[in-house]
Amino acid sequence: MSAWRATRQMLQTIAGHGWRSHSSKPAQNLHIGKPGAGFSFELTDEQKEFQATARKFAVEEIIPVAAQYDRTGEYPLPLIKRAWELGLMNAHIPESCGGLGLGSFEACLITEELAYGCTGVQTAIEANSLGQMPLIIAGNEHQQKKYLGRMTEEPMMCAYCVTEPGAGSDVAGIKTKAEKKGDEYVINGQKMWITNGDKLHPSSLFYNRYFLLARTNPDAKAPASKAFTGFIVEADSPGIQIGRKEMNMGQRCSDTRGIVFEDVRVPKENVLMAEGAGFKIAMGAFDKTRPPVAAGAVGLAKRALDEATRYALERKTFGKAIVEHQAVSFLLAEMAMKVELARMAYQRAAWEVDAGRRNTYYASIAKAFAGDIANQVATDAVQIFGGNGFNTEYPVEKLMRDAKIYQIYEGTAQVQRMIIAREHVGKFKA
């Protein structure tokens, strides 16, 4: 506790000397010096400091144990606690709730570095932001201070419960129902693939609550914009049944489970915004969290590029390092191009958030492109490693497995293209 308080005090000192202003004021967040000066790609000193802290943590504490967590599937409790102590978790929580209130741009810088170390660890950490975002954008003052404030006082987790066995990309197909009875809602249904879905781990790290999307309008023909309601559900509420931990293809230390809600009672005070506003809140949260997801994909791709480059400099064939063969050097060049462009994409999407603009178009571009190039770059890294790349003694096979989920969670690559097409064509119809 004392370590975290000291770290937070240091970070808030940074914030007080310019960090917060760069996060919340569009002109300064653009790094514009004076009218007509254009913009700069240079990070501020404060941004560099956060980036360096996250990078040091990833290199010195995450990478040395990442392979072990991948093999066992064990939840990375020590790393999550350490990230909390360093102030690398819950970056979005407002200052009014005891948080740092960082902008999306700064949070993405941190996320890229954590993902460089291990995207399983990064996803466990970043899932907190997804679970928090509905409260940040739609919670009232009481709800925010009660549920977000807790997370700045001790390491706690939360989860975003939207996906169901029969409703992933088709969010409007959700079957979980909430029926109002007096001053309460009674919730029944099943959620699936919930990151950080376990409500209690064998340690002092425990779960605060879930954001849950449920149908409150019984009319099957009701539009999604009016049919669903967002709820804050206490994780220890009676009637919540936690499923087994799923052993996935990649990101294995991230905890993913199914959750059953059986006659779970939620007070009306835990409705976010208003009955029927849930779909809008859920989609709004994705606009804010897709840039960090893209940043995570970039972190993985950068790690794959670095590993492949180091290997190409050391491995020799036909009397010279393989990096000297044009086939390999051109492959590295393609990988580098993709990493740089994907980084620019997520930074633009994050910048739009901090500028107070609707970023749906850019968020989907960043998420789709970064997810795709993470898979391409990781696959190319395995190719450069050759037979060694197919072996678990080398790091790139894990990166290849970890990369795939970036084309699936928080909106598949195909759904992103649907959104991009809709937004693009809409500009011409306006």
Q: Tokens representing 43?
A: 């990070």
pLDDT band at 26 (very low <50, low <70, confident <90, very high): very low
Q: What pLDDT is stored for residue 126 in this prediction?
A: 86
320 has which bridge partners?
317
pLDDT in tens, 332-375: 999 999 999 999 999 999 999 999 999 999 999 999 999 999 99
CA–CA distance, 384 with 206 (Å, rounded to integer): 42
Q: What is the pLDDT of residue 169?
A: 86
pLDDT bin (cut points 50, 70, 90) of residue 10 is low
Closest listed residue to residue 23, CA positions, set 96, 107, 85: 107
Residue 198's pLDDT band (boundaries 50, 70, 90)? confident
Residue 164 pLDDT class (50, 70, 90 cuts) = very high
Please give the model's pTM, rounded to 2 decimal places: 0.90
Instruction: Residue 128: name the closest of 39, 24, 235, 45 by CA.
Output: 235
Residue 172 pLDDT > 70, yes or no? yes
* CA angle (182 as vertex; 178, 185 as ends), nearest 5: 20
Cβ atoms 245, 73 nearer than 8 A: yes
CA distance 15 to 83: 18
The whole-number average pLDDT for the span 194-216 is 74
Structure confidence at residue 36 (pLDDT): 47
Q: What is the pLDDT of residues 202-211, one digit of tens each?
A: 444 456 689 9
Average of pLDDT values for 158-171?
91
Q: What is the C-alpha to C-alpha distance for residues 66 and 303, in angstroms, rounded to an integer?
A: 13
Torsion of the alpha carbons at 335, 336, 342 and 345, rounded to the nearest 10: -150
CA–CA distance, 172 with 225 (Å, rounded to integer): 9
Tell me the pLDDT band of 39, cut-offs 50, 70 and 90. Answer: confident
Residue of 85, 106, 397, 410 with catalytic role: 410
pLDDT at residue 11 in the model: 56
Contact 397, 382 (CB under 8 A): yes
With 50 as the cut, is the pLDDT of residue 16 above it? no
Residue 269 has which token pair? 């005070």
Nearest to 335 by CA among 296, 357, 303: 303
Comparing 1-5, 205-209, 292-296, the range with the smallest average pLDDT is 1-5
Confidence of residue 13 (pLDDT cuts 50, 70, 90): low
DSSP-derived 3-state class of residue 192: strand
Average pLDDT over residues 14-22: 39
Half-sphere exposure of 326 (CA within 13 A, CB side): 0
pLDDT band of residue 29 (cuts 50, 70, 90) is very low
pLDDT at 206: 54
Contact (CB, 8 A) for 66 and 120? yes
Told to judge if 410 belongs to the known catalytic residues of this protein, a careful annotator would answer: yes
Share of the chain above pLDDT 70, in %: 89
Residue 3 has pLDDT above 70, yes or no: no
Residue 22 has pLDDT above 70, yes or no: no
